[in-house]
Structure 1
């Protein structure tokens, strides 16, 4: 059993509530700070992320530092019981730095160096950039590392992107030498004999480019690994420059885009995981799918350290960069914010506190609008949530106990997106993973989202959708998991390539073939307008029946010890197996050979979870669009009932005694939930199983 977590900071052992605060944008108006402090207290905000893009204000010219304005802000915070995540400002360098040292600016894949602009426009390999960030970071640590208002370090901002300069090219070649040792080993791993692309000198190797090499999939994969490692190394360089001043002060870096970096690689160097969530609510009124998608993401970030995380950014109203920037309708701010808490957040924080007057994010949502006062709908929503979070302080530090895990690997994601075929119109890896996660979310079953390198032992049930890149080691781990009594579910397009993106020989699904008891001979790709179907066989051990539509991919498999539970209904492979189960040791392994929808996944996982002994948060059926999530401190369970449907609902309790955590009302039978409604309940905790 995992240890139950402690609060993120003993300085602030309650749920954190606050925003990105940019007082450096308002230094010309000294009255703003005093007014902001008044409004922060009025909104029930207790923490601000500060200094994120303040390098030019802190060091307006090289070696000339101005900390007095930040001194004043932090002292005002201290006097008013407000705390700060103090940022290192590397996310956006000052103009003098780029002008004097152009090597700090990134070079794009086209090999053209960027002009001074934007943010995330810096080379993580550059010795100059590392030197200059270390200087400003050490200055901040010396001055504020023991400041009573500082609750933790906010390292940079939303690391992402890549640089292709000569410094990075040399670093990439050095990284490859460490990985492979010899060019012969590299050429074999990259299968560079294809199109006669064999390398005979390390200097011939260049990073992927639109006008250069892009077809060696092993190379593409290694480049992404290198970019991640180089960024993690830079992050650690930043952490080392501040951590020494007060080793007890936690460090985090806020994560956002999934595209370029494997965020799990950051977890070992961080004390707290934080991320920035911007759901697109009210898109065609499909809030259920939006909610389940962000439930998956919350679960993924929480699972990186298996303890409470920080929701570092969200919007209190709208963004200004989505295709259609919808306002949050009444009730949605409370619901969406508490959804993060339900899935393990110990904070709700926003971008931004006060709207910028100019530049690219001047219309992005904020707690304080351009009107500059508290008499707005958004401010009232934020203040109301501040009161709610204060009433839920008991939840702080509590853990999520999941008996089910879903495998989601960044390397697999990269490899799937690089594959040519079988459906270049889209394999929809992330959507598929989220579909499987949603089937548990709909039942109120907590889920961890883990990687192949994580420990499988704590789980009863593991789901591996489209595990295309499957190492031999991962295959052995999953085989051992099943043999020890675990239940495994794997889908089509799994066990296809190894860690070098080389196809497994001897038959798919490669390292999973014995565990699953099947051989996947071919895979048929369907056009978007094509359908097949799966008919469940009578008397199958899951007790399921009926016909379900299948789409996009249909694998043609042979049984090698597995039992068929369902068959295809159409095409030349009609009546061939489409759903199987294999017994191995004390456990079972299921294989879903085609893409099936929610109408199948929900009853399937309901049956599989029951068979595996996986507990639901509530032992009762939840209405469509309603979910239940659980956090526990070992003595008490905290149940979050949330209604994301477009109509009012009722939840029938399971006979146990509950208390509404906000009203202290005792509840035993039925809980009404209005549209966008949420109730937070407390009950005595059952002992957690080891």
Structure 2
């Protein structure tokens, strides 16, 4: 049985390799384009993203359009076997528009309208801005939607930010009226507006959160984030509508990067292809733990793959360093190949960069690029990129393959927003993302594939569902999880779960609210611990998981009572020493675990999930023990499996394969039973599915 998706474009059924290209920066240097074409082919690049910030070069004054340079560029691409993602240039508008139509300028939280400048400094509600983007986008689509070099639409660039102008305030009120059935009583109750006498008596009193106004009503804060997300998605849809009709077969994507601001699960619904921009700080981490950073990056690759449950695009990465991180470290030898193939291993059908050629001036003149200011191919970075291009050219059979997954982590935007707004317990840092990573990394270390799903997604597809800090959950979704466990699923939740409902009001009747019956516990109190405080989790003798050990715990501790669950571990110290710290509840055909404290030791999570996944019947990619910092990811077409063994441990490692027959992917030669992985090393394997 084939488990394979069609390529992003039938024109290019290969791994895509390329970069953001800004030829308009080089109009005064006509020799650069010809040299760039030569270098692109030398580096094994077959796709470029063009036009991203080209508005003023396409429309230098209102109603005057200059497409000649883009005609020449795309025609040259077609003649040289290079494809293009053609961008709509709405990410940065020309100065003439700001001067003539001030309403397009964004208003900040302090209610001050911005001056012209930077990027994404515009109002998504502005009728003028929407009209101007539709006009230019339509002309681009009319001219290029069937161009042989164009393989997809790159809608704008890294959408993000919010606007607080009068136009957006009016849209927000309309959005709230629709959400709360035109009832101020419903809104006041949902936001608990009687707090501090903040009850609204007219719709005109409702405003977005402001630093010098209302910012303590959590329901308002949460709804504003939802509104901004939906308004941004609405604008993206507006842009898609302005180009789609000219060639409905041309796929659309937008490069995602601002994790905090937009519910990407909802944005994914209007896109054909998911793409994202990854900029991990390879070579520099505060804790010196490169494997942790690799797991963090892998988790986000999996998040974007899961959005549409099919291959995605790595639209931007850096071939060397960035210009905006606190310390700009160079990639060490082997790291560019390893990090590029990591994206492929987790489901990407491309490796693309920002940028192709370094800018000569302005803020990104020192951001990494394939072509340095030296302008030639005799650089370490160019050679690294060319080597990746050569490798990707040999991976065409992997294009479109899927990722079989039996384990999921719930990672929801509403929950994330609400946790970040919560006041109490530990205002110095609840560390939601770090908590998610602790659980993800333990699976990643064992080569167990993970989907990063939303609370509304189908749970029945998974043998194990993990919900770290599921603070916000509705009664309905609590029932869905309960049913999932009753029907044989395995579920794990942690401290600070089941606290509030969908409008950020606390559940009444005891935490963890709608998860209480599923987990078989009552969480009476939750304590935040100072950074200097330390407790511990001690496994009980003869526990159901047959685990042993005493592990340090910190930051958060929940005091729970058993209501049907059994204790697998208890606290080590303080007045709650001996009370349950890890529990298991049998419910119907399934099991639900609850971890009441944040354990420091990575080894604890590895051991915990090793046993939980074994009991749940979850397969590892390789049936072997992996050294710390080494992981294995799998893609399959249903006939063959493609395995990517990657070493992020900062030291040489040895991996012993299981007893299946493996070949080296690119050569077809028989793989040795023992793999020797150098620092930043990887091996790509193939086996029968």
Report TM bin, short chain: over 0.9
Q: Within 5 Å, which residues of 2 pair with 1:582-661?
A: 582-597=585-600, 598-661=602-665
Q: Is the 8 A contact 1:655 1:668 kept in 2?
A: no
> Could you say which residue in structure 1 is the equivalent of 2:583?
580
Instruction: Specify the SS of the correspondent of 1:557.
Output: strand
CA distance, structure 2, for counterparts of residue 668 and residue 446 of structure 1: 24
For the pair 1:391 / 2:416, whether they are aligned, the reply is: no
Q: Is the 8 A contact 2:3 2:636 kept in 1?
A: no
Instruction: Specify the SS of the correspondent of 1:75.
Output: helix
> Could you say which residue in structure 2 is the equivalent of 1:97?
97
> Could you say which residue in structure 2 is the equivalent of 1:69?
69
Q: Is the 8 A contact 1:460 1:614 kept in 2?
A: yes
CA distance, structure 2, for counterparts of residue 669 and residue 168 of structure 1: 62
| Corresponding residue to 1:375 among 378, 385, 390 | 378
CA distance, structure 2, for counterparts of residue 4 and residue 21 of structure 1: 30
> Could you say which residue in structure 1 is the equivalent of 2:142?
142
CA distance, structure 1, for counterparts of residue 33 and residue 544 of structure 2: 66
Measure how far apart 1:534 and its partner are. Answer: 1.1
CA distance, structure 2, for counterparts of residue 332 and residue 599 of structure 1: 25
Q: Is the 8 A contact 2:2 2:638 kept in 1?
A: no
Measure how far apart 1:86 and its partner are. Answer: 0.3
Q: Is the 8 A contact 1:656 1:668 kept in 2?
A: no
Higher mean alpha-carbon deviation, 339-348 vs 656-665, is at 656-665
Measure how far apart 1:4 and its partner are. Answer: 3.2
Measure how far apart 1:391 and its partner are. Answer: 0.9
For the pair 1:164 / 2:168, whether they are aligned, the reply is: no
Q: Within 5 Å, which residues of 2 pair with 1:298-313?
A: 298-313=301-316
> Could you say which residue in structure 1 is the equivalent of 2:231?
230
> Could you say which residue in structure 1 is the equivalent of 2:544?
541
Q: Is the 8 A contact 1:84 1:152 kept in 2?
A: yes
CA distance, structure 2, for counterparts of residue 140 and residue 27 of structure 1: 20
Measure how far apart 1:541 and its partner are. Answer: 1.3
> Could you say which residue in structure 2 is the equivalent of 1:353?
356
Q: TM-score, normalised by structure 2?
A: 0.99
For the pair 1:251 / 2:260, whether they are aligned, the reply is: no
Higher mean alpha-carbon deviation, 282-291 vs 568-577, is at 282-291
Which 5+ residue runs of structure 1 have no aligned equivalent?
A: 686-690
Q: Within 5 Å, which residues of 2 pair with 1:423-462?
A: 423-462=426-465
Q: Is the 8 A contact 2:3 2:637 kept in 1?
A: no
CA distance, structure 2, for counterparts of residue 684 and residue 480 of structure 1: 36
CA distance, structure 2, for counterparts of residue 508 and residue 533 of structure 1: 22
Q: Within 5 Å, which residues of 2 pair with 1:88-237?
A: 88-181=88-181, 182-237=183-238
Query: Aligned residue pairs: how many?
Result: 685
1:413-436 per-residue CA deviation (whole Å, 9 max, x = no partner) reads 111110111100110000100110
> Could you say which residue in structure 1 is the equivalent of 2:275?
274
Q: Is the 8 A contact 2:3 2:401 kept in 1?
A: no
CA distance, structure 2, for counterparts of residue 462 and residue 421 of structure 1: 28
Instruction: Specify the SS of the correspondent of 1:641.
Output: strand
1:449-499 per-residue CA deviation (whole Å, 9 max, x = no partner) reads 011011111100000000000111211111111111110000000000001
Measure how far apart 1:131 and its partner are. Answer: 0.4
For the pair 1:331 / 2:343, whether they are aligned, the reply is: no
Measure how far apart 1:283 and its partner are. Answer: 1.7
Measure how far apart 1:300 and its partner are. Answer: 0.4
1:167-189 per-residue CA deviation (whole Å, 9 max, x = no partner) reads 00000000000000200000000
CA distance, structure 2, for counterparts of residue 633 and residue 408 of structure 1: 27
Instruction: Specify the SS of the correspondent of 2:523.
Output: strand
CA distance, structure 2, for counterparts of residue 259 and residue 116 of structure 1: 24
For the pair 1:472 / 2:475, whether they are aligned, the reply is: yes
CA distance, structure 2, for counterparts of residue 2 and residue 234 of structure 1: 37
CA distance, structure 2, for counterparts of residue 673 and residue 653 of structure 1: 13
Q: Is the 8 A contact 2:442 2:609 kept in 1?
A: yes
Instruction: Specify the SS of the correspondent of 2:305.
Output: helix
1:338-360 per-residue CA deviation (whole Å, 9 max, x = no partner) reads 00000000000000000000000
Q: Is the 8 A contact 1:472 1:498 kept in 2?
A: yes
Higher mean alpha-carbon deviation, 181-190 vs 449-458, is at 449-458
Q: Is the 8 A contact 1:108 1:163 kept in 2?
A: yes
> Could you say which residue in structure 1 is the equivalent of 2:59?
59
Measure how far apart 1:664 and its partner are. Answer: 1.9
Q: Within 5 Å, which residues of 2 pair with 1:492-571?
A: 492-571=495-574
Q: Is the 8 A contact 2:2 2:637 kept in 1?
A: no
CA distance, structure 2, for counterparts of residue 125 and residue 448 of structure 1: 34
CA distance, structure 1, for counterparts of residue 607 and residue 289 of structure 2: 21
Q: Is the 8 A contact 1:657 1:668 kept in 2?
A: no
1:299-355 per-residue CA deviation (whole Å, 9 max, x = no partner) reads 001100000000000000000000000010110000000000000000000000000
Instruction: Specify the SS of the correspondent of 1:96.
Output: helix
CA distance, structure 2, for counterparts of residue 482 and residue 351 of structure 1: 45
Measure how far apart 1:668 and its partner are. Answer: 4.7
Instruction: Specify the SS of the correspondent of 1:304.
Output: helix
* Alignment RMSD (CA, Å): 0.9
Instruction: Specify the SS of the correspondent of 1:52.
Output: coil
Instruction: Specify the SS of the correspondent of 1:389.
Output: helix
| Corresponding residue to 1:294 among 286, 292, 297 | 297
Q: TM-score, normalised by structure 1?
A: 0.99
Q: Is the 8 A contact 2:446 2:625 kept in 1?
A: yes
Measure how far apart 1:599 and its partner are. Answer: 2.2
Which 5+ residue runs of structure 2 have no aligned equivalent?
A: none
Measure how far apart 1:667 and its partner are. Answer: 1.5
Q: Is the 8 A contact 1:404 1:462 kept in 2?
A: yes
